[in-house]
Structure 1
Amino acid sequence: MAQACLPPGFRFHPTDVELVSYYLKRKIMGKKLFVEAISEVELYKFAPWDLPDKSCLQSKDLEWFFFCPRDKKYPKGSRTNRATPNGYWKTSGKDRTIELNSRIVGLKKTLIFHEGKAPKGNRTDWVMYEYKMEDETLVSAGFSKDAYVLCKIFKKSGLGPRIGEQYGAPFDENEWENLDVNDAPPEIDGILLDELAKFLDDSPNDDVVLPEVLAC
């Protein structure tokens, strides 16, 4: 998948519901996404610091999104194998439910990367939110809700965002002043309202919440 970048002021900042009920659901069902913003990567083959370069959407916002096929630790078991060549991802806290219209549609798991061999690896600042589909309508329709998970990766720094801090990386004028509009990636530059309307008309109404693109 070709890499793309968003113009200044635009952020790929979907909510938990949007990640599960739009992106992950359509991935599992084999449906087309309006914007190909999330790469499919076998996350556990790589160290977390190698993953940013594998994102199809390049940005200085220090968070990255990936579809990951489920890799079971044991062939007949339900536990996921989260070991990597450099360490392992360890669960932190309890799973949180994601609800849409008072219905549970997904689970959100927090994991921390530990460098070294389990169980004595060294905790790092790399964090993963793993989103899992819990929509039983997929199962009744013949789809495996466990085929993929959607993962958000970021590196924690400090105690979190300061009050009033703006979302996203600082603007660098030098990166954009000589860029012609014709140089914009087709995934972004080609989005027109009539194309969006046609896409929505061709899509069934299945409780999908469209992703939000923020313009600051």
Structure 2
Amino acid sequence: MPSPPPPPPPPGALPVGFCFRPTNEELVRHYLKPKIVGAAHPDLLLIPDVDLSACEPWDLPAKALIRSNDPEWFFFAPLDRKYPGGHRSNRCTTAGYWKATGKDRLIRSRPAGTLIGVKKTLVFHRGRAPRGHRTAWIMHEYRTAKP
């Protein structure tokens, strides 16, 4: 039986100058797909799991394991369906909702150009749809083309 992966580093324990800047392809191929199939890889511990319906966007920075001055954080979040067996995602929180904006962008592997994922941009709106007020909070949702 393989030994369990090491615990994630405590916040602030990473070296000065450490940057986490994965490309879209790297996020899908090296983080999201292994997470979906249940791979035990220590790199996955850098990205915590969060329940987006239980967190307001302004609470998310404190949950990040990789702290920096950049307003960018990475999380794994299970897909929450609006209805059991339905296809619509539930993106509501207590204070508002995440609304998709723009078109989905395809993520292709290099150099083959194989479709490996999709990136969706969402904006947080305070209040309830359709009268919510747009905020400056933006989220990029990644999903795989094939699990």
Distance 1:32 1:60 in 2: 29
Identify the match of residue 128 of structure 2 among 90, 109, 117: 117
Q: Using the alignment, how far apart are the partners of 1:2 and 1:121 within structure 2?
A: 38
Residue 59 of structure 2 aligns with which residue? Answer: 50
Tell me what 1:64 maps to.
73
Match of 2:107 among 87, 91, 98: 98
Gaps (5+ residues) in structure 1? 136-144, 146-216
SS in 1 for 2:138: strand
- Give distance in 1, aligned partners of 2:9 and 2:61: 14
Deviations along 1:184-213, one digit per CA (max 9) or x if unpaired, are xxxxxxxxxxxxxxxxxxxxxxxxxxxxxx
Taking the TM superposition and a 5 Å limit, the aligned residue runs for 1:19-168 are 19-35=27-43, 36-100=45-109, 101-135=112-146, 145=147
Aligned partners of 1:61 and 1:114: how far apart in 2? 22
Code of the residue aligned with 2:107 in structure 1: it is I
TM-score (norm 1): 0.60
2:11 to 1, 4, 19: 4
Could you tell me whether the CA contact under 8 Å between 1:23 and 1:33 is conserved in 2?
Answer: no
Q: Does the CA-based 8 Å contact 1:111-1:130 persist in structure 2?
A: yes
Q: Give the fraction of aligned pairs with identical amino acids, expressed as a percent.
A: 50
TM-fit CA distance, 1:45: 1.0
Q: RMSD over aligned Cα, in angstroms?
A: 1.3
Q: Distance in 1 between matches of 2:140 and 2:41?
A: 21
1:135-162, Cα deviation, whole Å (9 max, x unpaired)? 2xxxxxxxxx3xxxxxxxxxxxxxxxxx
Unaligned runs of 5+ in 2: 1-7
Separation (CA, whole Å) in 1 of partners of 2:144 and 2:34: 11
* Aligned mates of 1:3, 1:40 — CA distance in 2: 15
SS in structure 2 opposite 1:19? helix
Deviation track 1:52-102 (CA, whole Å, cap 9, x = no partner) reads: 111122222211100001100111211110010000000001100000121
